[in-house]
Structure 1
Amino acid sequence: MKTKRQTRDLLFSGFCLLVGLIVISPVLYCVSASFMTSSELSSFPPNLLPSGFYLKNYETVFTSTPLLRFIWNSFLIAMIGTAGRLITSSLAAYAFSFLEFRFKKLWFMFILGTMMIPGDMLIITNYITVANMRMINTYSGVIIVMMASATYMFILRQYFLTISKEYKDASFIDGCGDFRFFTRILVPMSRSIMASIFIASFIALWNTYLWPLLVTNSENMRTVQVGITMLQFSESVIYGPIMAGVTVILIPSVLVFLVFQKQLVQGITLGGLKG
């Protein structure tokens, strides 16, 4: 019986490993291709591994585009936008979880209804609003539409509902108000789910392309997803530098995941246990 269980666990682990390799294979090939020469990239059958560490592609990326500036712009936008989302979403979730006010359910359903509106439908309206506020080609113009998320508010609200209201009653007896209970008790208890939301939001904002493309019009304000297209020339597409640029762009997302990996796993495990 024990041997069958070990065999089943081994087969399942091997299957998970195979699926993981299939999922990550495009990323691995991108990193490998960034070190290939033009002849290696155009050879048939295609090469999976470079013959050596050809660094000319990375040199082309950093000399032909202000990539570090693009990375800084994307990092700033993703960090501020994610922080704004966490603040607004957690405060709204707290109100819908622990406070009582008129038309509470109606407002909650109204916010949930906004989740069914495709984001592309709001681009023209958002652009006109930002233009009227004179925020075109500014960080504020890019970030302002990213400061709230009904999806993350809903996720946090559902999590807050699993926390007993006895914590709030006990804290109020000890002299805590709503703000102190929220900042001193509720937020520390929700670190795992907030870390999961932070990773998801950061990666989503880091990969945003269309909105920064519309709102920014100078090279110094471009984000990495927009700036990397500068490596595509009209006469030809040079895949080596593009792969090198994409590899550099992947580094911040990977670092954020590694930093918050423990909290992410805890959030997933806790969500599974509560579910």
Structure 2
Amino acid sequence: MSYSLRALKTGTTYVLLVLASILLLFPFFFALSVALQGETVTPHFLPDLGNLDWSVFAKVLEQQPDLVRWTINSFVVSLVVTLGVIITSALAAYAFATLEFWGKSFFFLLALGTLMIPFEATIIPNFLFISHMGWIDSYQGLIAPFLASGFGIFLLRQYFLTIPHELYEAARIDGCGRTRYLWSILLPISKPALATLGLYTFLSTWNQFYWPLLVTDSSPWRTTQVGITIFHSNEVQILNTQMAATLIIILPTLIPLIFGQRQLVRGLTAGIFK
């Protein structure tokens, strides 16, 4: 009886997971279905499998040649911002978690306080600074305001605090300094937290719209979110090209998700088991 009950629970769990997966993947499959149906005003739920229009992706690149440049811009900006946030957050979190210095609590609360300030409140000072530096239409203007993150500092500090201090004491006995301990011991065993922070930062930066819209005037410097919005406004009735362009800019975001999935799951579940 217990075996049957356990099998029923397992089967129910898998059914619910399959239904949740279908629900989450439905927008992606529907966009692909619409993209392959050709130029139609009223697309169907499923395309005609014998008449799939795969050339729509080439048509999108012909109609909007800057789409590749927009994707490269978003990838470069997201990657650099992610690396910057991981570096600055790791260094600050290491200091707050392991070092003792004057004003430690104050500076940590100051870092946490940045989480309470909405981006809209700082966008004008940031824009004036970027404009004064002459960084309009540049990677510097897109990247500089986001190289540090209060959330990243908090996340890594909390993870570093879960690592026993005795590990550092043992490393110091073997002649390991603070820098080598951070680089050779602390960061390698913190891969789940680093992967979680990196993926969150990458996707957040990739999906930015308002800031790239402010600091980019020319088309070659736009990012995907700004460029695809303008492309959609120019192609109001051509649904297949809209969906094809959307799929093109979605695909690069799957790369970090696929390769970092294991570390992401470990980071999200860290600390829930005793």
TM-score category, normalised to shorter length? over 0.9
- Change in 2 beyond 3 A, CA 1:271/1:253: farther
Q: Does 1:57 align with 2:63?
A: no
Query: Which residue of 17, 21, 44 corresponds with 1:47?
Result: 44
| CA distance, structure 1, for counterparts of residue 5 and residue 234 of structure 2 | 60
Where do 5+ consecutive residues of structure 1 fail to align?
none
CA drift of 1:38 comes to 2.7
Question: Letter of the aligned partner of 1:49 in structure 2?
Answer: L
Counting matched residue pairs gives: 270
Label 1:53 to 1:234 Cα distance change in 2 as closer, same or farther (>3 A): closer
84-93 vs 115-124, greater mean Cα deviation:
115-124
Secondary structure of 1:267's match? Answer: helix
Aligned to 1:140: 140
Alignment of 1:64-213 (within 5 A): 64-65=63-64, 66-213=66-213
Contact 1:61 1:231 in 2 (8 A): no
User: CA–CA distance in 1 between the matches of 2:69 and 2:20?
Assistant: 36
List gaps (5 residues or longer) in structure 2.
none
1:186: Cα distance to partner? 0.4
Asked if 2 retains the 8 angstrom alpha-carbon contact of 1:203 and 1:253, the reply is yes
Letter aligned with residue 210 of structure 2: L
| Shift, 1:102, TM fit | 0.9
Structure-2 separation of matches of 1:235 and 1:12: 43
Amino acid at match of 1:61: V
Q: TM-score, normalised by structure 1?
A: 0.93
For the 8 Å contact 1:212–1:226, the answer to whether it is kept is: yes
Inter-CA distance 233–103: structure 2 relative to 1 (3 Å threshold): closer
Contact 1:38/1:240 (CA < 8 Å) preserved in 2? yes
Which stretch shifts more, 102-111 or 55-64?
A: 55-64
Distance in 1, Cα, partners of 2:235 & 2:74: 28
Change (3 A) 1:235 1:203: closer
Structure 1 SS opposite 2:248: helix
Cα distance, 1:165 vs. partner? Answer: 0.9
Letter in 2 for 1:154: F
- Runs of 4 or more, structure 1, over 4 Å off, are none
1:262 aligns with 2:271: no
Report deviation, 1:233. 4.3
Q: What is the CA RMSD across the aligned residues, in angstroms?
A: 1.6
Name the CA distance, whole Å, in 2 between partners of 1:16 and 1:235. 37
The answer on whether the counterparts of 2:196 and 2:264 sit within 8 Å (CA) in structure 1 is: yes
Q: Distance in 2 between matches of 1:231 and 1:201?
A: 26
Using a 3 Å threshold, how does the CA distance of structure 1 residues 32 and 234 change in structure 2: closer, same or farther?
Answer: closer
